[in-house]
Structure 1
Amino acid sequence: MEQANALIEQARTARQSGDRDRAIELQRQAVGLLRQLEDAPRLAHALRHLGDLLVEAGEPEAAAVPLAEALDIYRDAPAADPLDIANAARAAAVQSEAIGDSRRAQHLWREARDRYVALDDRLRELTGENAGQAEAEARLRVLG
């Protein structure tokens, strides 16, 4: 677990410094380790971040599989944090938009919005706003 955590932290640092290729490589390594450890919640989180990185790197097609897997893991886990599920739906919506699948993007943005709405009190307490809901509503307006 410590090695996976170290890889995730290194990937985060590489991402922040603008080295997306290195961040993707490190995140993929972390995903591989988490698969071996059979840590579903951590795996789903790592997969979502891998998908985010791939979309940012201009590889949204490659992000489809890790993001779909992350959503599946979260949806199948009764104890999954609702915020993690909302964030995974958001990431999948961004990816769907990036590949031009407006219909799927709308569906995922609606799911993300609904999940963020359900978390409104928690998010406003943590951050003073519900940015996820606002973003989802804005994207849904653009997508029609």
Structure 2
Amino acid sequence: MTSNAESLLKQGYQARRDYRYNDAKLLYAEAVSLCRSQGNQALLAQSLTRLGASERDLGEIEVSLAHYEEAVSIYRAVDDPLSLAHTIRHIGDILRESNRLNEAATGYAEALEIYRRHPGTDTLDLANTLRGFALLKAATGEKETAISLWQEAGNLYSRVDVQAGVTESERQIALLCE
């Protein structure tokens, strides 16, 4: 039965890539339901994050947050620090975009702490977390901190050859230095 949930996740991923957000949402919701009935917590958390992303695509921000927050609880329980950090970062992005900056800052700080101490941290995940935190710090007027975060993010984006990230980092630093 787990393969059925995994199949639903694959189908949902393809639907989302094809910009069929409602289809993706339905497939992910079905995967969530199936995982709940099977008691597969790890796959449930993954399904919830995917469902949260689809809800976000559709502008259902509070529903999206609820799915991500449930996934965070599961990732804490199953001791999956990298998935936990990734999910917390997405919550930070949503909260920042919703101008809930204090809540977002707490999430970014936790995600960064997890990423910095875990040896298996993906460079791009760390860079993306730094990016979000830098945007937040710039929005709250903490220019020096924002510049430092952008510099680190830019170096990491360069290391993994993500030119769009390097360019954005340079542009943001220039704006903050004006």
Report the TM-score when normalising by structure 1: 0.90
Name the structure, 1 or 2, with higher relative contact order (CA <8 Å, separation 6+): 1
Secondary structure of the corresponding residue to residue 49 of structure 1: helix
Q: Give, in angstroms, the shift of residue 40 of structure 1.
A: 0.5
Q: State the partner residue of 1:33.
A: 74
Q: In the aligned structure 1, how far is the partner of 2:67 from the partner of 2:144? A: 32
Which among 140, 143, 155 is matched to residue 114 of structure 1? 155
Q: In the aligned structure 1, how far is the partner of 2:106 from the partner of 2:169? A: 22
Q: State the partner residue of 2:89.
A: 48
Aligned length: 136
CA RMSD of aligned residues (A): 1.0
Structure 1 residue runs of 4+, over 3 Å off? Answer: none
Identity %: 35
Secondary structure of the corresponding residue to residue 63 of structure 1: helix
Q: State the partner residue of 2:113.
A: 72
Structure 1 unaligned segments of length 5 or more: list them: 124-129
Q: State the partner residue of 1:132.
A: 165
Report the TM-score when normalising by structure 2: 0.74
- Decide which structure has the larger Cα Rg and report it: 2
Secondary structure of the corresponding residue to residue 86 of structure 1: helix
1:86-133 deviation line (CA, Å, top 9, x unaligned): 11111111111222211211110111011111122xx3xxxxxx1111
Q: Give, in angstroms, the shift of residue 5 of structure 1.
A: 1.0
Q: State the partner residue of 2:8.
A: none
Q: State the partner residue of 2:136.
A: 95
